[in-house]
A and B are shown apart, each in its own frame.
Chain A
């Protein structure tokens, strides 16, 4: 709730905010109040939506009521290999253009495929520059129709190989590599730093190319896993914290990647939140008036700033300090602030 998280199913089934009916909240004044209800809407402002992703800044959520869905009757998982990431990105757009919203649609780049395969032996195509894992769910008839359409679409977009999982065990194996991608990367690098930007999907090829250039400039490697359906990119920056300067270089690279996400029309965090770590990048994404509006919302709930102080929303002074270092395209961020 605090980060409005969403996993592999969220393109079809929504984020946390789409699946929570109500929350019980303790306010900073010590009152207990309920936001939302088991009905499909409630009178007044949508405080329930506002609580989602608010990182504990507005109140203490002590109880959550979620909507449940019946398990899908049928599931099919297929995996397609591509010789380049761009073709994989186009295939994702093609599936959606065909009117299909898969239950899951994930992409991994070559480095992520290799790391996952070495770790769990999922049967991934380690020659591929990218693989797409696509899960279709629904009634048997619906899934059969969609499988045919997706296979045709992947082929038309140049998939070099397509495998369809034969049974539950194989479906689990296809997913195992993706789900183990983070620990798999942990095996090949002393440390890794996981980023969480979201981008318009059409920018994928450009963003991955820029990430690779930015990484090379820092002499670091980056491995990419991508919630392809919804544009949420998780670049994993590999570094060794025991080597002097590498942690700082990884942090700088992470910040550059997030600023790249904003530049192409995306956001600095899809689901992992801002906390204190991404707070400087908030200054890149939002203007002064917007940041002031966020502070006013915070003050409406917690005038003294007692809940999670310093998180989620930067002070304008912090933005000025950060901005002094990062003049973007010659534009000074928050120019109205006095520079010291």
Chain B
């Protein structure tokens, strides 16, 4: 045992060593760059100039005034989804049903907001519709939550199955129950622009962006600085230690699901109240499965997630524009995100192996 192992410097904080920063960069930015490079190879192979494509994406998603406003607006629901996923993942629960929860939340908001706006002041109507969406999202996760908490049923399967049901149910409700009689397109009644979430200053950016930033930072602090967050994390990293410490696992599981799905439902409300104004039948942006790798890439850190959500927004907004200009389908964004995930998994594996080898040999 060498002298520096002695407990004299136990309290010494040493947050950022150069090696740590380098590792973080290597493990975080490298996968992104490698994925962009891999995507470039694919584009080149199908006969598209990668530089032209990426130039268009960056130009439309980040550099043009209207593009950047769209990008920032797109971030709002993604931030809520990321916050919801952080809660679940930190608690060790794979809530992969966020798309269903999102869509049902969106429908709840779209159905209630126009009616509420007629009887309440606009701010109150938005608040009530927003809360209702969160409740509907949370309610949709209760079945998987109860099954997991009391039956040990794998939540990956149950939440994924519930998402199929949720998407179909949202569709059905729009087509059968809430269809706006004044249009031929099957969609809900459109919320007038003046009753929607206000826009920021003189731009088209929805104030949902601020709500999203506020929410994800609040969630981050709750997970890292509160007793409740620590209980969820203990359950996430070692459920048996949580039982041994006397934590009420079923209750924590239900709470984590309710929060996670509630935030996903709120994401749907933000999209409807801030951007769309209504829900069309067959509409399913499937943001949830794009945000999952984003949150993992951010290592469940709320602040890092903001950065990666921005990147995702740029890719998806820019990708939609580039689709029109270069003929590359906008689904290519999915390819890029998938590549990030693959590279991330590989680098994580290599990092773990590299770190374990010296210990195993010692």
A and B associate = no
Residues of chain B touching chain A, judged by Cβ–Cβ distance below 8 Å, are none
